[in-house]
Amino acid sequence: MENNAVMCSYNSGVFFGYVGVYGGDAILRLSFHLFAGSSIFLAFFMATDPATTPLTKRGQYIFGLGLGVLTLLIQTFMNFLGGSILALVIMDLTSPWLDKTGLLKPTEEKMEKKPPKAQMFETVKTSACMRCGACMVVCCHNLSPILIKEAFDKGKTETLKRLQANLCDGCGKCSFVCPARIDPRGAMLRAKASLRTVKN
């Protein structure tokens, strides 16, 4: 699944970086950097890879913007037309930090968040997490369902406490919006039950 936040920020990064570096025919030079083969491959395939894309929207914007600026600087000052690949390697190193950037603060107060319109499917296929962050956006308590699921699967009790998994009321919106058809709701309820056991 392509990540629009990453792609938009990547293109913006190339554009703004370009404006600060170049003079001359703006359209021609900008088009070259945006549509060079390695840049197209990066923007549509590698930059949106679920394994490295940050979970939060803010993290995705920073990731994409960083890719764009680094790509332009590397290609301009190092004369290396594969600068987008090197930029990706550099930004991949920031993903663990960007995953924590823009996390919503959990709250005991329940907020009404409207999920998207339901669609009917004849068959449902489960896949690995796409790191889209959709479950985090719709949570009525601003929890991070996928992070809680990952912590629960690894038995990290302290992380579950820090992420306040005990606030989950099982509304199921996280599972409803998950494009990978994972069941974050089930994992969160099991995590909540495990924390209750620890207290007792």
Q: What is the CA radius of gyration of the chain?
A: 20
Give the residues of the chain that fall short of pLDDT 50. 1-2, 19
**51 and 20 inside one domain:** yes
CA distance 98 to 176: 25
* Share of residues in the chain with pLDDT > 90 (%): 23
**114 and 176 inside one domain:** yes
Which pLDDT value is given to residue 38? 61
First-last CA distance in the chain: 42
Torsion angle of the four alpha carbons 90, 96, 101, 107, in this order, in degrees rounded to the nearest 10? 170
Final residue of a structural domain among 98, 128, 144: 98
Q: Is residue 53 within 8 Å of residue 60, measured between CB atoms?
A: yes
**112 and 175 inside one domain:** yes
Final residue of a structural domain among 46, 70, 98: 98
Which pLDDT value is given to residue 2? 45
Which pLDDT value is given to residue 65? 83
Query: What's the whole-model pTM score?
Result: 0.69
Which pLDDT value is given to residue 162? 92
List the helix and strand counts (H, then E) for the chain: 11, 0
**74 and 115 inside one domain:** no
**59 and 81 inside one domain:** yes
Which pLDDT value is given to residue 193? 92
Structural domain boundaries enclosing 91? 4-98
Which pLDDT value is given to residue 115? 74
Final residue of a structural domain among 53, 81, 98: 98
Which pLDDT value is given to residue 189? 94
Which pLDDT value is given to residue 142? 92
Q: What does the DSSP 8-state code read for residue 166?
A: G
pLDDT digits (tens, 9 = 90+) for 34-60: 666 566 666 666 777 777 788 888 888
Give the Å distances, CA to CA, from 181 to 135, 149, 160, 167, 192.
11, 14, 22, 22, 21
Which pLDDT value is given to residue 153? 93
Which pLDDT value is given to residue 1? 44
pLDDT digits (tens, 9 = 90+) for 6-25: 655 555 555 555 545 555 56
Which pLDDT value is given to residue 64? 83
